[in-house]
Amino acid sequence: MRSRLDFRRRITILLGLDERPEFPKKDLEALWCPWRVEYFEQETRNPDFLSDAARASDDAAHLVIARRKNAFLMMNRYPYAVGHLMAVPYRKTADAASLGDNEVIELWSLAMHGQRLLRETMKAQGFNIGLNLGECAGAGVPDHLHLHIVPRWSGDTNFMPVLAGTRMLSEGLESLYAKLMATQARLADEANRG
């Protein structure tokens, strides 16, 4: 925590904000984010939500977008950015080396499918794709590996995460899920006609 505060202090000094008049906080006390109610209304985080989604029959309730024989694609309930997807093997493992060839192929295939959906639906211009293996590496679910697919756009970074420790998410999970599913259906229809 100290390093974050030191960094903020250095940025404040470098930008010359120390010499500026006090920020008019009384005029901007609230950051209105009505879509965040989806997170607040949820009960405590379920540490087995990936395993639950793997076994679920109600894909919409678990935000599952696509299923294959060995892996599935789902939206992240706790996203780094709006549209953050995850490709997840059905088999619960923390060790990437334990994955079989078919699991690896399907995870990457689902990552490419997720990229296409995000390009078509959200006009994503780039992606961060990767694994956080182990709690010390940032894994939120260290015992069930998953491949992150995070959409990016030119100019999408801003000061909020650095100075305020806050991420801005511009769309709710359920509305984006419906859009992604509609895009997936359209692409499947085009492929069948094609």
Residue 48 resides in a domain = yes
Longest dimension (CA), the chain: 64
Closest CA to 175 of 82, 79, 66: 82
Q: Catalytic residue among 84, 144, 146, 148, which?
A: 146
State whether the Cα torsion 146-151-157-163 is positive or negative: negative
Residue 14 resides in a domain = no
Residue 16 resides in a domain = no
Residue 115 resides in a domain = yes
Residue 83 resides in a domain = yes
Residue type, 15: L
The distance from CA 114 to its chain's CA centroid, rounded to whole angstroms, is: 12
Angle between helix 173-193 and 101-122 (nearest 10):
100
Mean pLDDT by 10 residues, the chain (194 residues): 58 59 49 52 75 94 97 90 94 95 97 97 93 87 93 70 52 90 96 88
Q: Are 113 and 73 in contact (CB under 8 A)?
A: yes
The parent domain of residue 112 ranges over: 35-193
146 among known catalytic residues: yes
Tens-digit pLDDT profile for residues 10-54: 666 666 655 545 544 554 444 455 555 555 555 577 888 899 999
Residue 116 resides in a domain = yes
**CB atoms closer than 10 angstroms to residue 119:** 15
Closest CA to 118 of 171, 61, 55: 171
Residue 22 resides in a domain = no
- Per the structure, how many domains does the chain have? 1
Residue 184 resides in a domain = yes
pLDDT for the residue 146:
95
Task: Return the CATH number at 77.
Answer: 3.30.428.10
**Class of residue 187 by CB neighbours under 10 A (exposed 0-12, middle 13-18, buried 19+):** middle
pLDDT for the residue 28:
45
**CB atoms closer than 10 angstroms to residue 88:** 23
Tens-digit pLDDT profile for residues 42-67: 557 788 889 999 999 999 999 999 99
